């Protein structure tokens, strides 16, 4: 290679590095500008149906199909890595994860098909579709989004990896921040240490008290952690260790609306 060629290549590499650095700075600045939920606030988890928040609640999560609660910090719930039960037909067939026999892979507990985030091309197509939901959250007046099933790769039979999941969540983070919304890391404590690289602003952790994982989230997110427990024992453990610093609520597993059979809501 001639000296001139080396110089041109060096300039190109330098420009690429600079562009990447500027892009990272822009992403960081964009993330810093989004409004985060208040820490150690009264919280209610209403993804099973919206209702008037109890007294003392300052932060609420509702499904993206619902409207925000007036005067509160509202988080918009999205099933981002899996389909809703029975909603496979809403997705292109090749975007559903399949096994070696061509059968769709399901999260058996909830009857939800896993989305195939194994390639860049598929991730971008899925992110475009999920992105329209994120846009709708913005348009309704939500302040943040909670993309669920970040950990679906652990239920994929090794067909998906943590790297695939993180590459996809970065696309969602960019879309949320472009919309002026904060974005939560939902569960997946093993990836909490990568929250900055993945563009994640706060955490929503189910049963971290029950499974002694709350510290994994606070080590990465500080006190910007919202805890949901589903048992008295889990709530007691979370409240005992984290009740003075984190937002903690116990709900029934079906997160039923107030007034319905099975409704449970307890706090520290």
Q: What is the pLDDT along the chain (268 residues), one digit of tens a residue?
A: 443 343 333 444 344 444 444 444 444 445 558 999 999 999 999 999 999 999 999 999 999 999 999 999 999 999 999 999 999 999 999 999 999 999 999 999 999 999 999 999 999 999 999 999 999 999 999 999 999 999 999 999 999 999 999 999 999 999 999 999 999 999 999 999 999 999 999 999 999 999 999 999 999 999 999 999 999 999 999 999 999 999 999 999 999 999 999 999 999 9
pLDDT at residue 19, rounded to an integer: 44
pLDDT at residue 130, rounded to an integer: 98
Least Cα distance to 36 among 70, 69, 74, 68 occurs for: 74
Residue with tokens 């609420």: 60
36-266, CATH topology level: TIM Barrel (3.20.20)
pLDDT at residue 35, rounded to an integer: 96
- To the question of pTM greater than 0.75 for the whole model, the response is yes
pLDDT at residue 32, rounded to an integer: 57
Q: How many CB atoms lie within 10 A of CB 26?
A: 11
CB 60 within 8 A of CB 258: no
pLDDT at residue 127, rounded to an integer: 98
Largest Cα separation within the chain, whole Å, is 78
């Amino acid at each position: 290679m001639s000296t001139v060629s080396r110089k041109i290549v060096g300039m190109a590499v330098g420009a690429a590095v600079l562009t990447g650095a500027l892009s990272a700075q822009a992403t960081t600045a964009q993330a810093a500008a989004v409004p985060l939920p208040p820490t150690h606030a009264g919280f209610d988890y209403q993804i099973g149906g919206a209702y008037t928040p109890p007294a003392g609640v300052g932060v609420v999560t509702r499904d993206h199909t619902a409207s925000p609660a007036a005067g509160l910090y509202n988080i918009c719930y999205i099933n981002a890595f899996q389909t809703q039960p029975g909603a496979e037909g809403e997705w292109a067939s090749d975007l559903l994860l399949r096994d070696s026999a061509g059968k769709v892979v399901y999260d058996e507990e909830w009857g939800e098909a896993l989305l195939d985030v194994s390639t860049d091309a598929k991730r971008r197509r899925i992110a475009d579709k999920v992105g329209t939901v994120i846009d709708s959250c913005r348009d309704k007046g939500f302040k943040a989004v909670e993309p669920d099933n970040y950990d679906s790769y652990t239920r994929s039979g090794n067909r998906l990896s943590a790297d695939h999941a993180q590459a996809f969540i970065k696309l969602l983070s960019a879309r949320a921040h472009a919309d002026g919304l904060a974005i939560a890391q939902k569960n997946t404590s093993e990836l909490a240490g990568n929250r900055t690289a993945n563009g994640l602003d706060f955490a929503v952790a189910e049963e971290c008290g029950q499974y002694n994982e709350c510290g994994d989230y606070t080590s990465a997110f500080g006190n910007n952690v919202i805890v949901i427990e589903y048992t008295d024992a889990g709530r007691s453990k979370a409240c005992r260790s984290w009740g003075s610093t984190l937002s903690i609520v116990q709900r029934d597993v079906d997160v039923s609306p107030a007034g319905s059979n099975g409704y449970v809501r307890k706090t520290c």
